């Protein structure tokens, strides 16, 4: 591709992106294709000769686009949002064009220094106390893995990486059943073993970890010769927003020398609004916490932020310094590749810098406040219908419900499975499901960057219309 062709196709791609965003409400939210349908349109063997960009682009629009679920659709109410605010997309154009590998300070000083400064901006916006230091990870899964590796090393007096785990005490990590499955995977990958992730029962409407049950589990493990090492709490669990009471868990972690990691991947973004900070009261007890600006704040994926009280413990766990990665003659610099599992690093801080400057914290706060208010309004409208029940109350903009008409019989799970399948096949909105105390429920969350009250209220019309037409 020549420089002129690169310029022309860059313009065309940008125009396509703007047109795509403008027309999203006219598309079904979820891909309406069948398994294997897209693969069947792609040749089984690669081309030997170069193909024209016009042909490639046309094939993209004809063959690939129909198989995409539109995560930027204003009526995407499934999972959690993976927002990409337009200003973030523009920043990503610049990052992609420069294509820098920002693993060390010397490989792009601006990337390192901007990351340090913009994450302190965000720390201030979240109301986190001074003393927390941030790093951008690719996802909450990686941040959690980094935290689990650190708690492992701390518990083993920093000998796990060197000696291996075969002769070590059997470590125990505690969490409720409301935490994300990335915690399970981190425990596996860290070599601690899934059987050593101890599930603590939850209680109350917040589905918070029972502190008495936690203390009993720790005492039982010590008596059995195990080594309690870590506690993983959640603020806004993925299923229905389960939220642990950090004011109760923090002192337990301190008294038992447990490393406390808090997963606030989704809900953490809402803490830029002071009125929501009761949800993570006691966050100052955390040794590590994670939140994802690429969810609710609008930074294009991937952009997950981990805050750490003691960065040296993280660096001591993860850093390897061969001669070819040393920056000679520079003291006091940060090499963020030593704060994460991958060596390679993208320039993720740029989109966060663009985003915060272009919208201001007040603009982002208003978006989140709107989503919370609209979701709660929708929950009240569904509660007012005699054939619907709210199963879990709104946690910020997330709640769950079930269709429960008279005469439906005992198999409400099957009925609600039919309902959500029909809703998603309809295409106007997109929802997901989970299980609550053995019951199949439908989740709703508002969080897409461009959604409006009308989009959220449309969900009421779609849900009730399709339910009563089953």
**Residue tagged 């406390």 (tokens):** 260
Contacts of 175 (CB under 8 A, 6+ apart): 183, 197, 198, 199, 200, 209, 231, 232, 233, 234
Cα dihedral 318, 320, 326, 331, rounded to 10, equals 40
Residue whose entry in the numeric block shows the structure tokens 């009471």: 245
State whether CATH 2.40.30.10 applies to domain 101-346.
no
pLDDT of residue 331: 59
Q: Give CA–CA dist 24/450, Å, rounded.
A: 11
pLDDT of res. 322: 56
More confident residue, 327 or 376: 376
Pairing relationship of beta strands 398-403 and 432-436 according to DSSP bridges: unpaired
Structure confidence by residue, pLDDT tens digits, 46-91: 999 999 999 999 999 999 999 999 999 999 999 888 999 999 999 9
Q: Give 443's strand partners.
A: 400, 432
Question: What pLDDT digit, counting tens, does each position of 411-469 carry?
Answer: 899 999 999 999 999 999 999 999 999 999 999 999 999 999 999 999 999 999 999 98
pLDDT at 330: 55
Cβ count near 65 (within 10 Å): 14
Give the pLDDT score at 326: 53
Residues 454 and 74: beta-carbon distance below 8 Å: no
Closest CA to 378 of 398, 407, 356: 398
Q: For 107-134, how does the pLDDT look when each residue is reduced to its tens digit (9 = 90+)?
A: 888 889 999 999 999 999 999 999 999 9
**307/310 Cα distance (integer angstroms):** 9
Nearest-10 crossing angle of helices 140-155, 181-189: 50
Omega of the bond leading into 302 within 30 degrees of 0 (cis): yes
Give the number of other CB atoms < 10 A from CB of residue 144. 29
Residue 435 main-chain phi, psi, to 5 deg? -115, 135
pLDDT-based confidence at residue 24 (cuts at 50, 70, 90): very high
Answer for the pair 239, 436: CB distance below 8 angstroms, yes or no: yes
| CA–CA separation, 275 and 365 (whole Å) | 10
What pLDDT sits at residue 328? Answer: 45
How far does Cα 183 stand from its chain's mean position?
Answer: 12
Please indicate whether residue 338 or residue 171 has the higher confidence score (pLDDT): 171
| Three-state SS letters, the chain | CCHHHHHHHHHHHHHHHHHHHHCHHHCCCCCCCCCCCCHHHCCCCCCCCCCCHHHHHHHHHHHHHHHCCCCCCCCECCCCCCCCCHHHHHHHHHHHHHCCCCCCCCCCHHHHHHHHHHHHHHHHHHCCCCCCEEEEECCHHHHHHHHHHHHHHHHCCCCHHHHCCCCCCCEEEEEECCCCHHHHHHHHHCCCCHHHEEEECEECCCCEECHHHHHHHHHHHHHCCCEEEEEEEEECCCCCCCECCHHHHHHHHHHCCCEEEEECCCHHHHHHCHHHHHHHCCHHHCCEEEECHHHHHCCCCCCEEEEECCHHHHHHHHCCCCHHHCCCCCCCCCCHHHHCCCCCCCCCHHHHHHHHHHHHHHHHHHHHHHHHHHHHHHHHHHHCCCCEEEEEEEECCEEEEEECCCCCCCCHHHHHHHHHHHHHHHCCCECEEEEECCEEEEEEECCCCCCCHHHHHHHHHHHHHHHHCC
- CA triple 70-71-77, angle to 5 deg: 110
Edge to edge, the sheet with strand 388-395 lists: 388-395, 398-403, 439-445, 432-436
pLDDT per position as a tens digit, 31-48? 989 999 999 999 999 999
pLDDT of residue 81: 87
Is 213 a residue whose pLDDT tops 90? yes
Q: Is the pLDDT of residue 470 over 70?
A: yes
How distant, in Å, are the alpha carbons of 28, 41, 365 from that of 61? Answer: 16, 12, 36
In the prediction, which pLDDT does 101 show?
Answer: 86
Low-confidence winner among 183-192, 289-298, 329-338, 386-395 (lowest mean pLDDT) = 329-338
Q: What is the dihedral of CA 87, 90, 96, 100, to 10 degrees?
A: -60
Integer Cα distance of 428 and 294 in angstroms:
24
User: Cα–Cα distances in Å, from 28 out to 70, 121, 408, 423?
Assistant: 8, 37, 29, 11
Q: Share the mean pLDDT of the chain.
A: 92
Percentage with pLDDT > 90 across the chain? 82
CB 81 within 8 A of CB 71: yes
> Would you say 180 and 263 are in contact if contact means Cβ atoms under 8 Å apart?
yes
The percentage of the chain sitting over the pLDDT mark of 70, rounded to a whole number, equals: 97
The confidence score (pLDDT) of residue 329 equals 45
Report residue 343's pLDDT band, with 50, 70 and 90 as the boundaries.
Answer: confident
Question: Which phi and psi (to 5°) does residue 229 adopt?
Answer: -125, -35
- Greater confidence (28 vs 328) lies with 28
Give the pLDDT band (50/70/90) at residue 102.
Answer: confident
Average pLDDT of the residues in 207-224: 96
CB atoms within 10 A of CB 401: 22
Single pTM value for the model: 0.91
Residue with tokens 């005469």: 407
């Amino acid at each position: 591709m020549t420089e002129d062709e690169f310029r022309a196709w860059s313009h065309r791609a940008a125009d396509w992106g703007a047109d795509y965003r403008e027309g999203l409400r006219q598309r079904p939210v979820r891909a309406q294709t069948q398994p294997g349908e897209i693969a069947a349109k792609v040749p089984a063997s690669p081309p030997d000769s170069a193909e024209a960009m016009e042909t490639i682009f046309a094939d993209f629009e004809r063959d690939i686009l129909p198989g995409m679920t539109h995560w930027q659709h204003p009526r995407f109410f499934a999972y959690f949002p993976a927002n990409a605010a337009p200003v973030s997309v523009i920043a990503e154009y610049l990052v992609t064009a420069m294509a820098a590998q920002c693993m060390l300070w010397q490989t792009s000083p601006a990337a390192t220094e901007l990351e340090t400064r913009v994450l302190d901006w965000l720390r201030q916006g979240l109301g986190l106390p001074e003393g927390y230091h941030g790093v951008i990870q690719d996802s909450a899964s990686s941040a959690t893995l980094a935290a689990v590796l650190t708690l492992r090393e701390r518990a083993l007096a920093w000998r796990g990486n060197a000696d291996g785990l075969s002769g070590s005490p059997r470590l125990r990590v505690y969490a409720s059943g409301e935490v994300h499955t990335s915690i399970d995977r981190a425990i596996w990958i860290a070599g601690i073993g899934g059987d050593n992730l101890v599930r603590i029962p939850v209680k109350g409407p917040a589905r918070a970890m029972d502190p008495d049950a936690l203390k009993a589990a720790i005492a039982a493990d010590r008596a059995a010769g195990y080594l309690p090492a870590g506690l993983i709490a959640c603020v806004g669990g993925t299923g229905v927003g389960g939220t642990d009471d950090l004011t109760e868990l923090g002192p337990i972690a301190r008294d038992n020398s447990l490393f406390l990691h808090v997963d606030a991947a989704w809900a953490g973004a809402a803490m830029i609004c002071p009125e929501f900070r009761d949800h993570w009261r006691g966050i100052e007890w955390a040794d590590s916490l994670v939140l994802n600006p690429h969810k609710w704040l609008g930074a294009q994926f991937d952009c997950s932020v981990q805050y750490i009280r003691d960065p040296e413990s993280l660096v001591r766990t993860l850093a390897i310094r061969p001669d070819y990665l040393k920056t000679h003659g520079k003291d006091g610099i940060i090499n963020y590749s030593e704060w994460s599992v991958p060596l390679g690093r993208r320039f993720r801080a740029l989109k966060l810098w663009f985003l915060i400057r272009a919208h201001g914290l007040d603009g982002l706060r208003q978006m989140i406040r709107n989503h919370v208010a609209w979701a709660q309004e929708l929950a009240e409208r569904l509660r007012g219908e005699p054939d619907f029940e709210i199963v879990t109350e709104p946690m910020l903009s997330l709640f769950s419900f079930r269709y429960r008409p008279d005469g439906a019989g005992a198999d409400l799970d099957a009925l609600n499975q039919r309902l959500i399948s029909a809703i998603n096949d309809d295409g106007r909105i997109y929802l997901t499901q989970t299980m609550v105390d053995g019951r199949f429920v439908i989740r709703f969350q508002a969080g897409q960057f461009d959604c409006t009250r009308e989009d959220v209220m449309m969900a009421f019309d779609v849900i009730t219309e399709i339910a009563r037409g089953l």
